[in-house]
Amino acid sequence: MSYPILHTLHLFAALLFVGTVFFEVLILESVRKHVPAEAMRLLEHAIGRRARQLMPWVMLMLFGAGLGMLWLRYLPALASPQSSAFGLLLGLKVLLAVSVLGHFLLVMLLFHRGRMSLRISQWIHLSVFAHVLAIVLLAKGMFYLSW
């Protein structure tokens, strides 16, 4: 597959994933204060069910395209990340992305075992939110920062 196609797929998947995280953290959490508890529980259940159907495919496309881009164009930059700002920022971005994947797998495991709680879910959402903010900043910085 060509780099431009992988790049486009990666961007669309990133938009969907980051948009979902932003929605859940910045909008859904503030709505909780204004909606009756039972209605909120039903809403969260419906959103969670849809997210569990869709997000594995989004993650597959996001990481699949990211790995494809890495293989086709960026592997030399990661071979010696200290030699350039681009390589260092890319390396940090990859580490954060692997951490996000770990969070995602943890969520899947907790749901599978029936151990997911509201408190754990909120903590994971905040952590992933911080990760994706950093990833977006690193992704932009890779092309604008140099030293």
Domain-by-domain residue ranges, the chain?
3-144
pLDDT band with cut points at 50, 70 and 90 for residue 48: confident
Q: How far is the C-alpha of 23 from the C-alpha of 25, rounded, in Å?
A: 6
Q: DSSP of 56-100, one letter per residue?
A: HHHHHHHHHHHHHHIIIIIHHHHHSGGG-HHHHHHHHHHHHHHHH
**Residue-level pLDDT at 50:** 94
- 24: which DSSP letter? I
Q: How far is the C-alpha of 115 from the C-alpha of 128, rounded, in Å?
A: 19
pLDDT band with cut points at 50, 70 and 90 for residue 1: confident
Measured torsion, CA atoms of residues 124, 128, 21, 134, in degrees rounded to the nearest 10: 160
Between 85-113 and 37-69, two packed helices, what is the crossing angle to 10 degrees?
140
pTM: 0.89
Between 3-22 and 118-144, two packed helices, what is the crossing angle to 10 degrees?
140
Rg (CA), the chain: 17
Helix (H/G/I), strand (E/B), else coil: 147: coil
Per-residue pLDDT tens for 100-112? 999 999 998 998 9
Average pLDDT (76-96) is 94
- 114: which DSSP letter? T
